[in-house]
Amino acid sequence: MIPSRKAYSTGNPQLDQKVHELISKAALSNPDLLEEMVFTAFKLCQENSDRGDIKLMNTTLKELRYAFKTFTPYRKIRKVAIFGSARTSRTAPEYLQARDFAKHIVKKKWMVITGASSGIMHAGNEGAGRANSFGVNIRLPFEQSANPVIADDTKLINFKYFFTRKLIFIRESDATVLCPGGFGTHDEGFENMTLIQTGKSSPRPIVCLDPPKSRYWSSWKNWLINNLAQKGMIDPDDIGLIDFTHSAEKAAEIITNFYRNYHSLRYIRDLLVMRIRRPLTGKKLEKLNRRFKNILMRGTIQQHENPFEEETHETNETQDLTRLSFYFNRRHFALLKHLIEEINEV
């Protein structure tokens, strides 16, 4: 028998009741979660008198609220996050390539998210154009100003904290492109890889893009192989989480192909449910079961015409999609990416 969930409380029954009555009268969506958020704020002030801790939590909540408000009207449009050096000159091959990539991906009905500053970020916004750009800026002691493409746009968001900014980059995008850059670019790249490798983020394309004849990413890839994969610090398959190309057009193709048939996934307890646009043939399903049986905890990959009962509250966008379901071992996420690529070959 599954134990019932313990009631969340401030520890003060009278205060709990007043909060509950207030939220009931407000008649807002998701009242259960709103009530827990209010309880959490009270508990923080009850347990911790450090004003710095409370300010951190308050600022975090306000930054995320504003970011969600900004992105919500565009949630149905796929977006790519572009990272790269702020120091790249506007005449550099890396700048021109990032700008070309943004042009290609926008032609495929995608939008672009950058860090809103100069260099590669400026190139991404310039290639996409203001209407198809978001800027996710960070306030720094030496004042990182927004580039002229995205400055003063309603889709420009300024963050105090790197961790809230990084969360928004991941949550609001469907793909990542890494152009040559410094510590920040590698930080974002490794965070993307870590989140996907550990299953804390859904599978996505991560594309390393640099100009023809450049060894920027190929030398880094060799470092990953020689120092991480061959020494057992990651699985050799984990290198497959990343795609490498010298072509802006190819980078856009890799990204859009990832969603050619695959749409999204979610878990229903231990069951992974994958939404796809077009059903698989029986022969294709048999092939997937043979090739990917080592990523299953038990059973086989099954196909369903209708959504599961637990999905009925979700958006209409997914209701008519075919489902694949299987008990994924939650270990081999690089192979899960390969499974998605096989599905996209339909």
Domains and CATH numbers, the chain: 13-72 (no CATH), 74-258 (3.40.50.450), 262-343 (no CATH)
pLDDT of residue 3: 44
Is the whole-model pTM more than 0.85? Answer: yes
CB contact set of 298 (below 8 Å; sequence gap of 6+):
327
DSSP string, 147-173: PTTTTT-TTEEEES-HHHHHHHHHHH-
Rounded Cα gap, residues 284 and 311, in angstroms: 25
State the Cα angle at 220 between 144 and 216, rounded to 5°. 65
Burial class (CB in 10 A: 0-12, 13-18, 19+), 143: exposed
pLDDT of residue 143: 56
Bridge partners, residue 266, by sequence: 273
pLDDT of residue 140: 83
pLDDT of residue 141: 77
pLDDT of residue 316: 72
Nearest residue to 83 (alpha-carbon basis) of 47, 50, 116, 129: 116
pLDDT of residue 145: 85
Sheet arrangement for strand 262-268: 262-268, 271-276, 322-328, 296-304
pLDDT of residue 4: 47
- pLDDT tens by residue, the chain, 346 residues: 344 456 789 999 999 999 999 999 999 999 999 999 999 999 999 998 899 999 999 999 999 999 999 999 999 999 999 999 999 999 999 999 999 999 999 999 999 999 999 999 999 999 999 999 999 999 887 656 899 999 999 999 999 999 999 999 999 999 999 999 999 999 999 999 999 999 999 999 999 999 999 999 999 999 999 999 999 999 999 999 999 999 999 999 999 999 999 999 999 999 999 999 999 999 999 999 999 999 999 999 999 999 999 988 776 789 999 999 999 999 999 999 999 999 999 7
The torsion angle over the Cα atoms of residues 199, 200, 205 and 211, rounded to 10 degrees, is -110
Nearest residue to 80 (alpha-carbon basis) of 314, 267, 258: 258
Nearest residue to 114 (alpha-carbon basis) of 143, 88, 84: 84
Asked if 260 contacts 314 with a C-beta cutoff of 8 angstroms, the reply is: no
